[in-house]
């Protein structure tokens, strides 16, 4: 088994998606586009050709006739959406008394917009990367009539070609389209492209009426004969479905449905959009106004450049920056230039930290200082230097085009001098006590498990770049320790024994490390970490990253030697050890999209590569997906065939509106197996360095004056 979609076919497809994503706009209309029972844009069971708003992340839960579908859908671009679905099916043919917990993926792509005379058109693949229970493809057209009526018609294959099916019209192009090859239902993980748009086709359609601003009524003809459902459990009288959808909140709908002449169904859909903050604004404090030098304090006029006075200004600047959520690392004034080294503790955008720093300097420094050099520091390492003319701060603060003018006039470079910390900056110790939440999803015995407890975390910074840190966790309540399912892996069990770690560890030390961050060259960054690197492995890790300040491209290399920790996650080790590492390529694609490829050796001693694509928003939201392919065969990997998943990061400031760099991140994996497993070491360099470089600063520079 393997990928059938060749690079020759994939390249133009990807190019078409990227070329149309930025310009896609649909005709404004008053009819809501809902989510169907599979969780992608549709009517009841059938799809429509329209899309949801760009960047929307939605969760839908639908239930009828012994099936419950839980779907997470992300509108990746204005035209393209992707869905991950976790379903419980209790009425499958040959399933016996045990329900099937099914994982599947879908994509929906609108390739033509609706106009006055032409309908919108879309194409989609359902369950193209799963067990095949819902496997289907479709081409669909949708046209709005007036302001409140919308008509949809389409052609379906696979599951959507099982009622009223006829000879595939694509067979005139190639006889192979006449038949649909069977797949091994229940294994999943392989992209069954040899099935796409093959076999019998069938027509489907429907009509939607937006009765009121909150109520939408739908009638559809379904082309799904439910071939895998047990007729004894689901009696299908006809192919007609009727539904009513009511908007109970700005982003939440509830639907009641009468399906196939015999069944009642319900669905709840709710969504968030990273572009739209829930409270429609921030509660961040106003920045200090720029102080024009004509109004400078009398004390500042006495500046004569002495070291003693420079030290005095240092303490004043440090106190003022602290009030802005910024930490001063270094400070000096030479001639007409002041150099400050800062660490951003509060602001999601580094550009906002720069702007607030420059405002503070305009108020605290003597009038003879003409230029501010602001050095952005992370983990004690200087990353980017910005030189800003004080005169620009004074003249552009209230300029309508002040944001882009200030960026155009700033000078950016990669500093080579090490951080020169102010007196009292090092050593430094901090600690915090906070709750933690750990989840385990998709276990067939209990699909949702979780632990809640307390985590004590401490950090000791001995010198610039030298850190010692760790954590201690104690569970309060939860059921992760109740999982007794044994791994059936034929590979070294580097991850699949995760439930034993959950069961035997309480209290635990999830990590306890020493790390040194350094800058060996102008565009080079380094890290060496040692200790208990993550909850399952301890050892030593080294990393080197090359990235120019003004470049969207970066290269990195990491090498690790680790041993597997004892299941209690305290101080002992097991016998298994491995040398693992990767070379990585990173590319900022623009529009918030980031691509990454990591190639090398994984924890189970398999060789391969991980491909990732993430979309990042200016407020800190991130949504992405990854897939890993190694020399482990699909059969040896087991159910799922290869490692893949979705990751979501939600910044706390998006919820509260207050400046904060804390976020919640989670990775949704359909299955956690041993193939393609990578070490989860903290402090990797790229995500520490990239936000402080020019492309990211430029994207967020609109917040410079905020």
Q: What is the CATH number of the domain that holds 26?
A: 2.40.160.40
Strands 201-210, 215-221: pairing kind: antiparallel
- Quick check: is 704 in a domain? no
Q: Can you give the C-alpha Rg of the chain in angstroms? A: 29
- Quick check: is 131 in a domain? yes
For the chain, the domain total comes to 3
Q: Residue 420's pLDDT is what? A: 80
Check whether residue 125 and residue 168 sit in a common domain: yes
Contact 564, 494 (CB under 8 A): yes
Contact 516, 462 (CB under 8 A): no
The CATH number of whichever domain residue 641 belongs to comes to: 2.40.160
Contact 612, 625 (CB under 8 A): yes
Check whether residue 317 and residue 412 sit in a common domain: yes
- Quick check: is 328 in a domain? yes
Instruction: Tell which residue, 465, 462, 439, 441, has the closest CA to residue 452.
Output: 439
Distance CA 76, CA 79 (A): 8
Check whether residue 121 and residue 61 sit in a common domain: yes
Check whether residue 415 and residue 536 sit in a common domain: no
Q: Residue 299's pLDDT is what? A: 46
Which pairs from 456-459 meet CB under 8 Å and 24+ separation?
456/431, 456/432, 457/431, 457/432, 457/433, 458/429, 458/430, 458/431, 459/429, 459/430, 459/431
Q: Residue 97's pLDDT is what? A: 62
Which residues form the domain of 507? Answer: 428-463+465-486+495-695
The CATH number of whichever domain residue 394 belongs to comes to: 3.30.300
Neighbours of 668 (CB within 10 A): 17
Q: Residue 613's pLDDT is what? A: 96
Contact 676, 606 (CB under 8 A): yes
Q: Which of 272, 301, 319 is the last residue of a domain?
A: 272
Residue with token string 């708003």: 53
Q: Residue 304's pLDDT is what? A: 54
Check whether residue 38 and residue 118 sit in a common domain: yes
What are the distances in angstroms from CA 116 to CA 21, 34, 52, 679? Answer: 21, 22, 20, 54
Check whether residue 306 and residue 243 sit in a common domain: no
Query: Residue ranges of the alpha helices (H) in 412-555?
Result: 498-504
Distance CA 592, CA 55 (A): 11
| Coil, helix or strand at residue 555 | strand
What are the distances in angstroms from CA 502 to CA 202, 431, 483, 508, 584? Answer: 49, 25, 8, 10, 31
| Coil, helix or strand at residue 377 | strand
Contact 467, 458 (CB under 8 A): no
Question: Which residues fall within 8 angstroms of residue 494, CB to CB, at 6 or more apart?
Answer: 536, 564, 576, 578, 602, 603, 604, 674, 677
Q: Mean pLDDT in each 10-residue stretch from start to end of the chain (706 residues)?
A: 35 39 45 94 97 95 92 95 92 71 92 95 90 91 95 96 94 90 64 85 97 96 90 86 95 96 95 79 80 62 52 88 94 91 92 94 93 95 95 89 89 86 91 92 81 96 96 94 87 94 94 97 96 98 97 97 97 97 96 96 97 92 94 84 90 84 87 92 96 93 89
Check whether residue 121 and residue 263 sit in a common domain: yes
Check whether residue 433 and residue 394 sit in a common domain: no
- Quick check: is 286 in a domain? no
Distance CA 34, CA 256 (A): 13
- Quick check: is 2 in a domain? no
Distance CA 363, CA 230 (A): 76
- Quick check: is 190 in a domain? no
Backbone dihedral angles phi then psi of residue 267, each to the nearest 5 degrees: -150, 140
113-142 burial: b if 16+ Cβ within 10 Å, else e: bbeeeebbbbbbbbbbbbbbbbbbbbbbbb
Cα distance between the two ends of the chain: 54
Q: Which of 272, 304, 323 is the last residue of a domain?
A: 272
What are the distances in angstroms from CA 491 to CA 184, 496, 503, 579, 607? Answer: 23, 9, 22, 16, 13
Check whether residue 63 and residue 128 sit in a common domain: yes
DSSP E strand boundaries for 370-504: 371-378, 381-389, 411-413, 428-443, 446-463, 466-478
Q: Residue 443's pLDDT is what? A: 77
Name 229's bridge partners.
92
- Quick check: is 284 in a domain? no
Q: Residue 312's pLDDT is what? A: 79
Check whether residue 409 and residue 452 sit in a common domain: no
Neighbours of 169 (CB within 10 A): 11
Distance CA 502, CA 481 (A): 5
Q: Residue 6's pLDDT is what? A: 35
Contact 26, 119 (CB under 8 A): no
- Residue 669: HSE in the Cβ half-sphere, 13 Å Cα cutoff: 21
Helices (H) and strands (E) in the chain, counts: 10, 32
- Quick check: is 706 in a domain? no
Q: Which of 399, 425, 451 is the last residue of a domain?
A: 425
Q: Residue 7's pLDDT is what? A: 35
Check whether residue 358 and residue 258 sit in a common domain: no
Check whether residue 235 and residue 313 sit in a common domain: no
């Amino acid at each position: 088994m393997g990928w059938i979609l060749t690079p020759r076919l994939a390249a133009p497809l990807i190019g078409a998606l990227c070329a149309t994503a930025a310009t896609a706009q649909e005709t404004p209309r008053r009819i809501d586009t809902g989510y169907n029972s599979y969780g992608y844009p549709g009517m009841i069971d059938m799809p429509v050709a329209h899309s949801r708003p760009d960047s929307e992340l939605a969760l839908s839960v639908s239930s009828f006739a012994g099936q419950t579908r839980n779907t997470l859908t992300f509108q990746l671009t204005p035209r393209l959406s992707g869905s991950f679905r976790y379903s419980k099916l209790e009425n499958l043919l040959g399933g016996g008394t045990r329900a099937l917990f099914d994982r599947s993926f879908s994509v929906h792509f609108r390739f033509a917009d609706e106009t006055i005379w032409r309908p919108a058109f879309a194409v989609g693949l359902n369950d193209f990367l799963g067990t095949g229970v819902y496997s289907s493809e479709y081409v669909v057209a949708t046209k709005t009539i007036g302001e409140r009526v919308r008509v949809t018609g389409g052609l379906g294959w696979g599951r959507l070609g099982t009622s009223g099916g006829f000879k595939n019209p694509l067979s005139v192009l190639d006889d192979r389209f006449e038949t649909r090859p069977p797949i091994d239902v229940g294994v999943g993980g392989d992209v069954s492209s040899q099935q796409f748009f093959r076999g019998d086709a069938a027509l489907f359609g429907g009509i939607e009426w937006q009765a009121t601003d909150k109520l939408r009524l739908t009638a559809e003809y379904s082309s799904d004969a439910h071939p895998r459902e047990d007729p004894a459990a689901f009696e299908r009288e006809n192919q007609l479905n009727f539904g009513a959808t009511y908007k109970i909140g700005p982003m939440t709908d509830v639907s009641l449905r009468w399906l196939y002449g015999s069944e009642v169904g319900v669905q709840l859909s709710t969504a968030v959009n990273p572009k739209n903050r829930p409270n429609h604004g921030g509660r961040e404090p106003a920045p200090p106004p720029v102080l024009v030098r004509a109004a400078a304090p009398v004390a500042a006029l006495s500046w004569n450049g002495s070291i003693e006075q420079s030290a005095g200004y240092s303490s004043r600047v440090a106190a003022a920056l602290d009030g802005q959520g910024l930490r001063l690392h270094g400070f000096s004034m030479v001639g007409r230039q002041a150099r400050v080294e800062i660490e951003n503790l509060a602001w999601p955008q580094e550009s906002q930290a720069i702007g607030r720093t420059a405002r503070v300097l305009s108020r605290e420094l003597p009038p003879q200082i003409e230029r501010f050099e602001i050095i952005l520091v992370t983990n004690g390492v200087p990353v980017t230097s910005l030189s800003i003319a004080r005169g620009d701060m004074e003249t552009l603060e209230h300029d309508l085009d002040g944001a882009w003018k200030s960026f155009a006039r700033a000078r950016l470079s990669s500093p080579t001098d090490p951080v020169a910390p102010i007196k009292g900056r090092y050593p430094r110790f901090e600690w915090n006590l906070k709750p933690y939440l750990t989840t385990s999803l998709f276990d067939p015995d209990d699909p949702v498990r979780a632990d809640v407890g307390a985590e004590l975390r401490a950090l000791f910074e001995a010198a610039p770049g030298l850190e010692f840190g760790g954590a201690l966790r104690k569970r309060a309540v939860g059921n992760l320790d109740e999982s007794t399912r044994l791994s059936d892996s034929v590979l070294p069990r580097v991850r699949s024994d995760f439930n034993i770690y959950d069961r035997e560890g309480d209290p635990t030390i999830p990590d306890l490390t020493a790390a040194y961050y350094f800058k060996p060259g102008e565009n080079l960054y380094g890290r060496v970490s040692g200790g208990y690197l993550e909850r399952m492995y301890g050892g030593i890790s080294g990393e080197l990253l090359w990235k120019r300040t003004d470049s969207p491209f970066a290269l990195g290399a990491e090498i690790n030697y680790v041993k597997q920790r004892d299941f209690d996650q305290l101080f002992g080790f097991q016998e298994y050890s491995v040398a693992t590492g990767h070379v990585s390529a990173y590319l900022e694609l623009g529009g918030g999209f980031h691509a990454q490829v990591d190639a090398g050796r994984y924890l189970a001693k398999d060789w391969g590569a991980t491909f990732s694509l993430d979309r990042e928003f200016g407020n800190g939201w991130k949504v992405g997906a990854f897939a890993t392919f190694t020399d482990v065969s699909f059969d040896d990997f087991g159910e799922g065939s290869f490692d893949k998943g979705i990751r979501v990061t939600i910044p706390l400031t998006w919820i509260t509106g207050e400046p904060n760099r804390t976020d919640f991140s989670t990775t949704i994996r359909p299955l956690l197996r041993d193939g393609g497993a990578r070490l989860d070491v903290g402090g990797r360099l790229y995500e520490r360095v990239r936000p402080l470089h020019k492309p990211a600063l430029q994207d967020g520079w609109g917040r410079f004056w905020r």
